[in-house]
A and B are shown apart, each in its own frame.
Chain A
Amino acid sequence: MVAAGTQAIALVSLVGESAVALGGWCAHPARVRWRPILFNLRTAGVDALPIVGLLSFLLGIVVAYQGADQLRQYGANIFVADLVGLSMLREFAPLMTAIIMAGRCGSAYAAQIGTMAVTQEIDAMRTIGIAPIEMLVLPKIIALCIAMPLLTVFADVMGVAGGMWMAQVQLGVNPTQFLERFTKAVSVTSYVVGIGKAPVFAAIIALVGCFQGFRTQGGADSVGQHTTRAVVQSIFLVIVVDALFSVAFSVLDL
């Protein structure tokens, strides 16, 4: 319990340091490190497209397939568009993307920084006069905060495509009917609510990954341990925050 408390405080202090460093960048834009930002944008964004697309497509299929039986009983076949559209756009696409990114990027961040800590590269960086926060943490947060909303849009499209295909196969709802119903059922608000969560999830994943990396001490064992913790903690926090979002949105009537 005490350990969890000190960890939480350390995490908050990393958030604070990152915010200060980000403020410094805003005040002196010449100091912004574009190269690592762009590099991270490619590894976290472009390279993740296939896996995010495939899994969202499959998730769309599963949602439509599971719903199909129930809807058919009531003769409410067309409502498959409501089911797939709302669930994918509001919940599944952002959450699925976040979970994939936690597994893909959060772990990579923790392992990279952890290995650098073990091989004294972080110490070397500090003595050379490069702030590890600016070189290692901020570029990852910024890149992921840009990449995740875009990936979520892609996941929306792929998920709905999966559901649309299953609607045709299982319920005989053709794409034209599906899309017509889809535009009526799904408001712009639902779409924005889903996308809006993505940068928050991105910040959580990047911060927790980096945080666990910096806590690595000793050897290879510790790198493995903290990489695991990075994934578990970031998925945990993402789901907790997602639940809070749901409560907040329902209170706000969104």
Chain B
Amino acid sequence: MTDGTPIIVMHQVQTRFGEHVVHKGIDLQVRPGEIFAVIGGSGSGKSTLLREMILLHTPNEGTVEVLGTPLAGIAAEDAMALRQRFGVLFQQGGLFGSLTVLENIGLPLREHRPLSDAEVDDIAREKLALVGLLPEAANLYPSELSGGMVKRAALARALVLEPELLFLDEPTAGLDPQSAAGIDALVLDLRQQSGLTIVMITHDLDLLWQVVDRVAVLGDGIVQGLGSMAELAKMDVPAIRPFFSGPRAHAAQAQAASL
């Protein structure tokens, strides 16, 4: 992929669930190497938009292109190849309850790479360390992990195939401030180390101000605003205001300014 070619292109995406219209026409592009966030109120269709990018939902109208591959009518083999080029961290982690942390992390390798069990375990342990989990966590089951550990383990699994693109669904939701800060640092680290493109859904203002490059604000089924947080702060669009007014927004903004 040459520089400048967008990683994700969504053009006039429309989504309906029965009578309920979620997206009236979404246009957005994600550039290589950036950290891109989608924000919006509850029910604004953020999660659905993410699902449309990761082949879990097909929009009713419009086109989605991920890593240069159009997703409409994609063949099973192409879909399989594409899935190996991106990783997804689900909001609830999506770790398999019947497998240990190490088996969970190694699963994509076992499925798609001709490696021996020992090699798979080695790579899985490496990723475990990368996301800041102790080696002792390897043999625990997901039910034995704290919320923050689940997210880290799921992130390790998302990274195990060395993806070009990483999707994060609410990576810091439900975490204590310290764990959330840990995830912020981890996301920044990841981008610096590997030049990964990251697309996330989040409400976390600290994450938005300090980590994210560009933000798309969804509202009323369209993209209400697109740009860096500083640019968005200057826009006068009602749907965007809640993210920039109120004490929490001011505190996050002030902290970002002081950095």
Contacts and interface: CB of A to CB of B under 8 A. Distances in A.
Nearest to A119: B92
Interface in A90-147: 115-116, 119-121, 123-130
A127 B55 contact: yes
A128 B93 contact: no
Contact of A128 (B51, B92, B108): B108
Contacts of A128: 83, 107-108, 111, 157
B95 A124 contact: yes
B55 A124 contact: no
Interface string A179-208: 000000000000000000000000000000
Contact of A119 (B55, B97, B112): B97
Contacts of B54: 127
Given A120-B90, A120-B93, A124-B95, A130 B56 contact: no
B152 to A, nearest CB: 15
A120 B94 CA distance: 5
Contact of A124 (B51, B80, B96, B112): B96
13 contacts: A119-B92, A120-B90, A120-B93, A121-B94, A121-B95, A121-B97, A124-B88, A127-B88, A128-B108, A128-B157, A129-B80, A129-B83, A129-B111
Contacts of A116: 96-97
Nearest to A127: B88
B84 interface: yes
Contacts of A121: 94-97
Contacts of A119: 92-94, 97
Interface of B: 51, 54-56, 80, 83-84, 86, 88, 90-97, 107-108, 111-112, 154, 157
Instruction: Provide the main secondary structure of the chain B interface.
Output: mixed
Interface of A: 115-116, 119-121, 123-130
Contact of A120 (B84, B86, B92): B92
Given A129-B108, A129-B111, 10 more contacts: A119-B97, A120-B92, A120-B94, A121-B95, A124-B95, A127-B54, A127-B56, A127-B88, A128-B111, A128-B157
A125 B112 CA distance: 13
Contacts of B56: 123, 126-127
The 7 closest A-B CB pairs, nearest first, are: A124-B94, A120-B94, A120-B90, A129-B83, A127-B88, A120-B92, A128-B108
Contacts of B97: 115-116, 119, 121
Contacts of B86: 127
Contacts of B108: 128-129
Contacts of A126: 55-56, 83
A164 B54 CA distance: 62
Contact of B90 (A115, A123, A129, A130): A123
B234 to A, nearest CB: 37
B127 to A, nearest CB: 14
A193 to B, nearest CB: 38
A162 B58 CA distance: 57
A123 B95 CA distance: 10
A127 B93 contact: no
Contacts of B112: 129
A123 B97 CA distance: 14
A66 to B, nearest CB: 45
Nearest to B160: A128
Contacts of A130: 107, 111
A252 B186 CA distance: 70
B132 to A, nearest CB: 21
- Residue from A121, A123, A128 whose CB has the most chain B CB atoms within 10 Å: A128
A16 to B, nearest CB: 15
A149 to B, nearest CB: 28
Nearest to B91: A120
A136 to B, nearest CB: 11
B94 A123 contact: yes
A71 B108 CA distance: 65
B100 to A, nearest CB: 15
Contacts of B92: 119-120
A167 B83 CA distance: 64
Contacts of B80: 129
Contacts of A125: 96
